Amino acid sequence: METTVSKRISIDPRVCHGKPGVTGTRVPVRTVVGALAAGQGVAGLLEDVPTPTEADIQACLSFADRPAQSEMSAA
């Protein structure tokens, strides 16, 4: 059963091992946030992982910025 966290972020036990992911893709939020934290730019990320849009990337950052709720929601 999919849980919609926002328009662009969802949690589905059958996708991304039940961790938050970009809705309609198999891209985990942590992949997007981790790449950006490691210094990869948005353009580079979109080249490497073309499925998410810039709006999806922004949604991942907003989701990750939520206090501990992001991991608790995934449990």
Domain boundaries, position 31? 3-69
Total domain count for the chain? 1
Instruction: Tell me, yes or no, whether 74 lies in a domain.
Output: no
Single-letter amino acid, residue 34:
G
Task: Provide the pLDDT for residue 70.
Answer: 45
pLDDT at 73: 56
Residue whose C-alpha is closest to residue 74's, from 15, 3, 20: 20
Is 59 contained in some domain?
Answer: yes
- In this predicted structure, what is the pLDDT of residue 44? 94
pLDDT in tens, the chain (75 residues): 878 889 999 999 999 999 999 999 999 999 999 999 999 999 999 999 989 999 999 999 999 998 755 455 555
In a domain, 43, yes or no: yes
CATH code of 13's domain: 1.10.10.10
Let me know if residue 75 belongs to a domain: no
pTM for the predicted model, two decimal places: 0.82
In a domain, 60, yes or no: yes
- Nearest-5° Cα angle at 53, 52 to 59: 85
Within-domain flag for 47: yes
